[in-house]
Amino acid sequence: MTEGPALRYKIQLVDDEEDFRKMLRSFLRKAGHTVSDEASAREALLAAVDSPPDIVISDVQMPGMDGFELCRRLRAEPRTAAVPVVLMSGASKEERDQLEGFALGADDYVLKPFAPPILLAKISAVLRRYSTAAELCEILRGDGVTLDVQARTVVHAGRRIDLTRKEFDLLTLLLRKRGHVLAPKYLLEAVWGYDLAEYNDPHTVTVHLSSLRRKLGPRLGRRIVTVPGSGYRFDL
């Protein structure tokens, strides 16, 4: 099994200014992350619940639902309660505004205008707090399978299972988020790093999961459940 880079992070960017979103989206993708972007907080909330990102970056001032309310609702929703949130604002710069954001559960607050590398540094810092060095050395277990993230090894019932890099990354993600349904589009972004506007063929996921199930064997392979119309889940 060849070693590969760590899984990319999926960032959800929320801002009603299209040019600003495009600029940040391009910058963050060049930095190695996958990025989905929404023009409104309401659309972002629906998308995040459907396919939870690794982190949400949201403007505060937006028509309709603002960034504060988005943060509050993300924290109230079980599927997104643990997703880190960074708020951005060019208008709400007062200390009380920032304190309100933190009180609602935001992990950081960035004042516009800012240089994109500053935002990237803050994103990295927040993600490090959620994905500490311990996670890089974590041992994932589920139904008798032991997955060593750093060594990139999988052992089941005393037998080492050789997986390709993508199969390993798929199993890692399924175990980290076991019990949650992961949509094919989320897997394509998180594991393959595809831009869904350019490539969105779920057959890629289907083929790799079929091979993964076969290598895991009939009993363990059955733990990877297909949820029709929704995605895949590693059963608890």
What's the pLDDT score for residue 191?
Answer: 84
What does the pLDDT average to over 163-187?
88
State whether CATH 3.40.50.1010 applies to domain 10-130.
Answer: no
Contact (Cβ atoms closer than 8 angstroms) between residue 183 and residue 231: yes
What does the pLDDT average to over 28-36?
88
Return d(Cα 15, Cα 76) in angstroms, integer: 21
- Spans of all domains in the chain: 10-130, 136-234
Lowest model confidence (mean pLDDT) among 88-92, 115-119, 127-131, 145-149: 127-131
List, for residues 176-231, the tens digit of each pLDDT value.
888 889 999 889 888 887 777 777 888 889 999 999 999 998 888 999 999 999 99
Whether residue 136 is predicted with pLDDT greater than 70 in this model: the reply is no
Kindly report whether the global pTM for this prediction surpasses the value 0.75: no
Which residues have CB under 8 Å from 138's CB, separation 6+?
Answer: 149, 150
What does the pLDDT average to over 13-18?
95
Return d(Cα 169, Cα 220) in angstroms, integer: 17
CATH architecture of 136-234: Orthogonal Bundle (1.10)
Residue 109, SS3?
strand
